[in-house]
Chains A and B, each alone.
Chain A
Amino acid sequence: MFLINCPFCGEREQSEFKAGGEAHIVRPKQPTELSDDEWAEYLFMRKNIKGVQFERWNHVHGCRKWFNMVRDTSNDQIKAVYKMGEKPPVK
């Protein structure tokens, strides 16, 4: 079980959090302008990589805030956490 450094509350147990999939996928501003393929790209396609991945997490049993995390999925090391809307602090 990870220890996650919530950007609002500090270090907490993983059991307080919920994972929310890949980060930095922006909902299209004008969905109706998109083709089926373009909409499907937003809706369904996720990278799910082995290695460093950008993810959304929610402190669901805490402050209920969403934030982003950089995690190496091969060894579960958390490289960084940062607030929604902020740029990733690591590449």
Chain B
Amino acid sequence: MTNNLRFKTSKFIDETYRVSFKFNNKTYFGFKGDTLASALLANGIHLVGRSFKYHRPRGIMTSGSEEPNAIIQLHDNSSRTEPNVRATEVEIYEGLVASSQNCWPSVNFDIGGINNLLSPILPAGFYYKTFMWPASFWEKYEYFIRKSAGLGKSPKVADPDIYEHKYIHCDVLVIGAGISGIMAAKMAAKNGFKTLLVDEKSYLGGSSIYDNSEFSKINNQITSSWLEKEINEISKLENLEIKIRTSVAAFHGYNFLLARENLTDHLPINQRENKVRQRLLKIRAKKVITATGSIERPLIFDNNDRPGILLSSAIKKYIDLYGVACGENNILFTNNDTAYETAMSLIQRGIKINAIIDNREQIDSKISYEVEKNNIEIYKGYTVVDTYGYRRINKISIMKLSKDGQTVVGDKKNLNCDCLGVSGGWTPAVHLFTQSGGKLKFREEDQVFIPNVYPSDQISIGSCNGDFGLEEIIRNTLSSIKKFLDIDNSEYKTVETISGLNQSKRNIWLLPSDKSIGKTKSFVDYQNDATAKDIKLALREGFRSIEHVKRYTTTGMGTDQGKLGNMHALGIISETAGTKMGEHGTTTFRPPYTPLTFGTIVGRNVGEFFDIFRRTPIHDWHVANNAEFENVGQWKRAWYYPKDNENMHQAVQRESKAARDSAGILDASTLGKIDIQGTDASEFLNRVYTNAWSKLAVGKCRYGLMLNEDGMVYDDGVTTRLGENHYIMTTTTGGAANVLGKLEDYLQTEWPELDVYLSSVTDHYATISVCGPNSKKIVSKVIPDLDLSDEKFPHMSFKNAKIDNIKCRVMRISFTGEHSYEINIQANFGKSVWEKCMDAGKDFNITPYGTETMHLLRAEKGFIIVGQDTDATLTPIDLQMDWIVSKKKYDFIGKRSLYRSDTIREDRKQLVGLLTENPEEVLEEGAQIVANIKKSPIEMLGHVTSSYYSPNLKKSIALGVVKGGKNMLGQKLIIPMENKNINVTVADPVFLDKEGERLNAKL
């Protein structure tokens, strides 16, 4: 059966290289050079898939990236498995495995096909209309809808392939290596422009490379021969880089483009090892030449979707390029001359054409006369009204069109066939042009949108610019490239063309039928099963905007994005609504032009590179000592150190108790550190912090609160005066980069007169905090030369010291309320000093603690964590931190906002402590706080921001923000939870040692 479909005359197919592959578990053979589609067609297979909604049998329809039907699952059940791959783009290789999608149990017999019979009750918007009622049932509907949604299967295991990203800069980028793209690339490269030429196909030359017709010639040579010489010539040009199998996915502003280069998809699996599969090219071009060609339009008539119905240009390509006949009894159905080129290609190989149906009454071109000479009957002024055959077309009905083309007249006539080629003219591929921001205009005479206003230094040439005739393409390419590149086009002195086609066309968007529209299935979007009837229904129901009709009917929303049918949808809308085509515009063409794999998008940013993290200099010690880690900003911070199968709660309780009873040690290296120098450093701090800084003595530390200009708390931390004009500021871990940015902003823009210099030194120091009643003893062992007496080294002061000759800074500051020291030392000594402290603390049960214990200890003291207890809606007054806001300073960032009408409201949310009635009950952070649960709707007063069980106080403690909370001390409130209400009392946020006795105790 299959032998007579392969005509071994193509130079693109290597007949000596037979390739076996599997489709739906059956083994077939093709040749090197075949696509999966051409190989299947050569084996007589048209039916390859089922449609999305009605599960109708569908066949290969096109020969390129516009394919809506022949989308398959590649590599069954393997880590490489990939859904929705276009069979028309897959180059076959030995061992390829593919299968049909969206069908069960098989593509030949699919249970889902019942939807086709149910189609009268499945109109556009069916799901919106049906599953609304009753509203509570949605969850049940959703389960079934989700089960049946989607095409193909995604892989379940990690992708074994390698992907990468690459930047390319060029003078001229030429997209599309058809005849005009080849000419443009040659002209650019020969005139000294660094040029990049890309094409999505595996070969150069576009459709002209297999144009062997006697009816179109260039300089008296067959087009393909002339073009081959051109290609030979440009492959040797030094200035020109050529990339095949490279599809431009996106064309952004400023000539920034993304392209996907396919490197290994055409190779047998065993040859792909350690090779990059796909590369995402990030191209920045000074000038862009778009030569993306055009896509043939189908025709819209009843049952226009059966397997065996292909675009006429696809039939031509399959025979001319792959040497494959799509059928043995062909009929062509057209409204223009291009189908006659297909006819000639078939005639030359002796493939039978039963008839040509032409919408036009009169046909007057050399090529049509030539076809007629071959005794092929041409039905002029006819249309196809119906087709027959379930898994493959076997018959069509035709009728005569009325004069105005709106109805059919006369008798119906049946014609047998096994393949129907349709041609509705051509649609310029303007997708990339519009993505770049270009504006289109509508050309009435042949009903096409063409580029009009260019938003950047770019130009469209060839048929994507609306030039369809060979003569026109070559003439306009030469003149516009010459102008665009400002060059002398001496490369092509004489180019003479002959073409046997003329451009006449009878455009009817929706062809009439003898049946009423309600009884027809004329597909506009094949993949999503949107019909002309659905579009008309949408209009009847009041939709007018093309974007709304698109979403309601799902026209153009498949993986092919409606490359074939979108124009017809527009045409049917304007015909039905009685408006002019150009007025509606088009739907938005969004990137990517063809789907990209996730692998291509992420490139090498996978695994540990997906979201990079920062490690402290002491990180390895934490790992070796069983720490669990928490992500804080980009940092990995030790969270807690479980011992002997402890859970988090047990570990944190132990750590917290040890820190207060004897000694704890914390890696605080992640805190942001900004070195501030300059004669105006004090004045600068005065302006950025709420409190006063001028009088801070050298060697002293001070806690500071930083606001935004709107008065809300932005960051906090301790800043130390190292010298007269030298400070070191610490910031929160997560806020470090933003604080530096904010300080730089004010210095550069508002206060450029200040003599202040900022440097981030976060990474330069390791910071080790030792706290607890025994901290003094431990630090004195580590730094014996340092006088730690309260007189010489009181709380909130700093000393320069040395550990084994290495300079370090020691601050006596505390975030836990305990006597504590912070040692800052050059980062690479961090780990050894940490180990020294551990060693010195052995006798004192020194206990390493993580961020969770740190949070607990500070919560006992009522110290806030910016970002946990605050959320950019709280002023220092709201936080009951009035003490830190200077009354004397004339100005600081955010000061004026502290007495706006809004910020002085009494009923703002304010920070309070919360104690549960049952001291064992620990609140959930984020839980809502209410006063009255009887009156609905229940008024939300605030929420819990921090909550812990304190092992030192032996009770549950929490912080929260509550409306008017400042004046609610002692009041009872309720935390409603899913299955209980928890009673709490508003308390002072400082739960432990309000007087600071622990901090100032004589040790």
| A3 close to B (CB within 8 Å) | yes
| A84 close to B (CB within 8 Å) | yes
Given contact pairs A3-B284, A76-B253, A56 touches B749 in the complex (Cβ within 8 A): yes
Residues of B252-277 at the interface with A, using a CB-CB cut-off of 8 Å, are 252-254, 256
Q: Are B253 and A84 in contact (CB under 8 A)?
A: no
Tell me, rounded to whole Å, the shortest Cβ–Cβ distance linking A75 to chain B: 6
Residues of A1-51 at the interface with B, using a CB-CB cut-off of 8 Å, are 1-3, 13, 18, 20, 26-27, 30-32, 34, 36, 39-40, 43
Which residues of the partner chain B approach A36 to less than 8 Å between Cβ atoms? 900-901
Residues of B425-450 at the interface with A, using a CB-CB cut-off of 8 Å, are 437
**What's the Cα separation between A27 and B749 when bound, in Å?**
9
CB closest chain-A residue, reference B745: A66
| B890 close to A (CB within 8 Å) | yes
Q: Are B897 and A66 in contact (CB under 8 A)?
A: no
| B895 close to A (CB within 8 Å) | yes
Pick from B252, B749, B895 the residue with the most CB of A within 10 Å: B749
**What's the Cα separation between A13 and B710 when bound, in Å?**
32
Q: Are B710 and A43 in contact (CB under 8 A)?
A: yes
Which residues of the partner chain B approach A75 to less than 8 Å between Cβ atoms? 437, 455
Q: Are B748 and A65 in contact (CB under 8 A)?
A: yes
Q: Are A39 and B745 in contact (CB under 8 A)?
A: no
| B784 close to A (CB within 8 Å) | no
| B377 close to A (CB within 8 Å) | no
| A85 close to B (CB within 8 Å) | yes
Beta-carbon contacts of A61-76 to B below 8 Å, as 1s and 0s?
0001110000000011
Q: Are A31 and B895 in contact (CB under 8 A)?
A: yes
| B680 close to A (CB within 8 Å) | no
| B709 close to A (CB within 8 Å) | yes
Tell me, rounded to whole Å, the shortest Cβ–Cβ distance linking B364 to chain A: 45
**What's the Cα separation between A13 and B895 when bound, in Å?**
37
Q: Are B741 and A58 in contact (CB under 8 A)?
A: yes
Which residues of the partner chain A approach B901 to less than 8 Å between Cβ atoms? 36
| B891 close to A (CB within 8 Å) | yes
Q: Are B254 and A3 in contact (CB under 8 A)?
A: yes
Which residues of the partner chain A approach B744 to less than 8 Å between Cβ atoms? 64, 66
Residues of B77-125 at the interface with A, using a CB-CB cut-off of 8 Å, are none
**What's the Cα separation between A42 and B252 when bound, in Å?**
35
Pick from A1, A34, A56 the residue with the most CB of B within 10 Å: A1
**What's the Cα separation between A27 and B741 when bound, in Å?**
17
Residues of A73-91 at the interface with B, using a CB-CB cut-off of 8 Å, are 75-76, 84-85
**What's the Cα separation between A49 and B284 when bound, in Å?**
29
**What's the Cα separation between A82 and B557 when bound, in Å?**
44
Which residues of the partner chain B approach A3 to less than 8 Å between Cβ atoms? 254, 284
**What's the Cα separation between A88 and B891 when bound, in Å?**
29
CB closest chain-A residue, reference B252: A1
| B349 close to A (CB within 8 Å) | no
**What's the Cα separation between A60 and B514 when bound, in Å?**
67
**What's the Cα separation between A84 and B15 when bound, in Å?**
69
| B896 close to A (CB within 8 Å) | yes
Which residues of the partner chain A approach B896 to less than 8 Å between Cβ atoms? 31-32, 34, 39
Which residue from A32, A65, A85 sits with its C-beta under 8 Å from B891? Answer: A32
Q: Are A1 and B749 in contact (CB under 8 A)?
A: no
Q: Are B741 and A32 in contact (CB under 8 A)?
A: no
**What's the Cα separation between A1 and B436 when bound, in Å?**
11
Tell me, rounded to whole Å, the shortest Cβ–Cβ distance linking A36 to chain B: 5
Q: Are B254 and A20 in contact (CB under 8 A)?
A: no
CB closest chain-B residue, reference A76: B253
**What's the Cα separation between A20 and B253 when bound, in Å?**
20
**What's the Cα separation between A66 and B744 when bound, in Å?**
9
Tell me, rounded to whole Å, the shortest Cβ–Cβ distance linking B711 to chain A: 9
**What's the Cα separation between A43 and B897 when bound, in Å?**
9
Which residues of the partner chain B approach A18 to less than 8 Å between Cβ atoms? 741
Q: Are B741 and A60 in contact (CB under 8 A)?
A: yes
Which residues of the partner chain B approach A66 to less than 8 Å between Cβ atoms? 744-745, 748-749
Which residues of the partner chain B approach A60 to less than 8 Å between Cβ atoms? 741
| B750 close to A (CB within 8 Å) | yes
Which residues of the partner chain A approach B709 to less than 8 Å between Cβ atoms? 27, 43
Which residues of the partner chain A approach B710 to less than 8 Å between Cβ atoms? 43
CB closest chain-B residue, reference A56: B749
CB closest chain-A residue, reference B709: A43
CB closest chain-A residue, reference B255: A3
Beta-carbon contacts of B443-476 to A below 8 Å, as 1s and 0s?
0000000000001000000000000000000000
B residues in contact (CB < 8 Å) with A = 252-254, 256, 284, 437, 455, 709-710, 741, 744-745, 748-750, 752, 890-891, 895-897, 900-901
Give 10 new A-B contacts, CB below 8 A, not counting A56-B749, A66-B744: A1-B253, A3-B254, A30-B891, A32-B895, A36-B901, A39-B896, A43-B709, A58-B741, A76-B254, A76-B437
| Cβ-closest 7 pairs across A and B | A31-B896, A1-B256, A66-B748, A27-B750, A3-B254, A39-B896, A76-B253
A residues in contact (CB < 8 Å) with B = 1-3, 13, 18, 20, 26-27, 30-32, 34, 36, 39-40, 43, 56, 58, 60, 64-66, 75-76, 84-85
21 A-B interface contacts by CB (under 8 A): A1-B252, A3-B254, A3-B284, A27-B709, A30-B891, A31-B895, A31-B896, A32-B890, A32-B895, A34-B896, A36-B900, A58-B745, A60-B741, A64-B744, A65-B748, A66-B744, A66-B748, A76-B254, A84-B748, A84-B749, A84-B752
